[in-house]
Amino acid sequence: MTSNTKRRGSQYEAAFIVESLRRELDVLESYGDYMPYDLVVQNGDGRFFRVQVKGTNSRIKNKPGYKILAAGGNLKKVALSPEEVDVLAAYVEPDDCWYLIPVMKLKGNISVYLNPNTKLNGRYEVWKEAWNVFQNGGIPELRKGNPVQMSAKQ
């Protein structure tokens, strides 16, 4: 990872911390860079969530939307594991929006495609600005009021 990439990652983590605190969530930082998650969020009920923060500031070439690598590892990318990380916090910088995706919903996928400006219901669009995943165990509230049920089978 280049120092510029590390710097950008630190900026995304700082932005996540600021937004979390604004939403009255407490954030714990681990010391070092060896854990499979970046931060731990504690909600008002005292529940903890391990969070991996990723971000992007560039569109996919010749396509709408953005791509986030939901993986760890330097040389060989390994999918995030729900045993090690609870939530992927993906920041789309040009649109200033967060996707809070439970890692179990990634189903082992390394590439996550996001399109904040679409009217289509993409796979991860329900998780856009779904900060309530830290409050209710991962059930996003849809714009039309119908919650999407979380289960290990989905």
- Say yes or no to pLDDT of 151 above 50: no
> How many other CB atoms are there within 10 angstroms of residue 97's CB atom?
14
Residues 6+ apart with CB under 8 A from 7: none
In this prediction, residue 85 carries a pLDDT of: 95
Q: What is the pLDDT of residues 16-65, one digit of tens each?
A: 999 999 999 999 998 888 899 999 999 999 999 999 999 998 888 888 88
- Say yes or no to pLDDT of 3 above 80: no
- Say yes or no to pLDDT of 2 above 90: no
Cβ–Cβ < 8 Å for 91, 98? yes
Question: How far apart are the C-alpha atoms of 113 and 68, rounded to whole Å?
Answer: 6
Q: What angle do CA 27, 89, 59 make, to 5 degrees?
A: 140
Cβ–Cβ < 8 Å for 108, 98? no
The tokens describing 12, both together, are 């995304």
Question: How far apart are the C-alpha atoms of 95 and 116, rounded to whole Å?
Answer: 7
